[in-house]
Amino acid sequence: MVVGAVQPITVRGLTKHYGNHQAVRGIDLDVHKGEVFALLGPNGAGKTTTVEILEGIRNRSAGDVQVLGSDPAQDRRSWRARIGVVPQSTGVYLDLTVGEVIGHFAAFYPAPLPVAQVLDMVGLTEQRKKQTVALSGGQQRRLDVAVGVIGDPELIFLDEPTTGLDPVARREAWDLVRYFADRGKTTVLTTHYLEEAEALAQRAAIIVDGRVVESGAMHELGGRADTPTTVSFLRSPALDGRELPPLPGSSAVETHGASVSVLTPTPCAVIRALLRWAETAGTTELPELRVHQPTLEEVYLDLIRRNRQTASTGSTS
């Protein structure tokens, strides 16, 4: 099982510059077999450049890149047969029907999935005989996905696969990603939708300004696992002026008028203590009680903001 032991993607010190513009400034990535790995970051951060280098359609300036055990720049056909790509821009297949397009691409692969099965997976069975130009934007995007996976790839690159899809079609696309993940395939997902990354990916890297500023398991991204949870409530008149009980854990308390926020690594223990405290004051309710964990979006926005500040105060720009 030497083949199985090879990590699908290993990137060390990847750089890419266009003239004087440094698009990718030394990226390291490790994508493990069977996982969905998300690449996140603002527009122009270098995500697509990185993905295109991994797909073997863009040359790199420097660095080591191994994708399925090969250098993508070699562009070997046997290697191409093992990867599937859904590019960012929607392809236009002039004068052909949906079924013809998928059948056409199937002819290039050694062991393609059945055309009917792929049509069904992307929900285009009814459009099989339709000219591709007559499809809606979302349907065209699903055709792109179908063309990308028809070869039954071991490694799939999805570059913003659900942009332009309605919520229902997006959920269907997610099911498709999970279908391949369940079969042990590896997926690299580039997306703007953080809830999409959260729903699908096990690990992620956040790229800002050509660098990986954060990478790891989704629930640990940006120190999320260590960031304290906020428990907040309003002092009702019954609680007014009463001193807070001793709160377990290393909790910090902030008060703004009637509003109380407790930052704590142990929110359940804090709530138990607060409820007991309220009961002794003769009330059973804490108005507007909220438990808030930082969302991926908050972590992400915070990371982007911090890195932009560093970049603008740094000497490089």
Residues contributing to the site for another protein (CB under 8 A):
3, 18, 23, 43-49, 52, 55, 57-59, 76-78, 80-82, 85, 87-96, 100, 104-105, 107-111, 147, 151-152
Least distance (Å) from another protein to the CB of residue 45?
6
Task: Name the token pair of 110.
Answer: 């050694």
Least distance (Å) from another protein to the CB of residue 153?
10
186-190 and 259-264 strand pairing = unpaired
Round to whole Å and give the CA distance between 227 and 294: 8
Least distance (Å) from another protein to the CB of residue 80?
4
Asked if residue 102 lies in contact with residue 108, where contact means CB atoms within 8 angstroms, the answer is: no
Round to whole Å and give the CA distance between 142 and 138: 6
Closest C-alpha among 197, 192, 229 to residue 215: 197
Least distance (Å) from another protein to the CB of residue 116?
14
Residue tagged 């069975």 (tokens) = 125
Least distance (Å) from another protein to the CB of residue 169?
21
Query: What letter represents residue 107's amino acid?
Result: A
Q: Which one, 3 or 246, has the nearer CB to another protein?
A: 3
Q: Which one, 121 or 231, has the nearer CB to another protein?
A: 121
Q: Which one, 110 or 137, has the nearer CB to another protein?
A: 110
Q: Which one, 60 or 235, has the nearer CB to another protein?
A: 60
Task: Name the token pair of 215.
Answer: 């990478």
Q: Which one, 56 or 138, has the nearer CB to another protein?
A: 56
Signed CA dihedral, 219, 220, 223, 226: sign only: positive
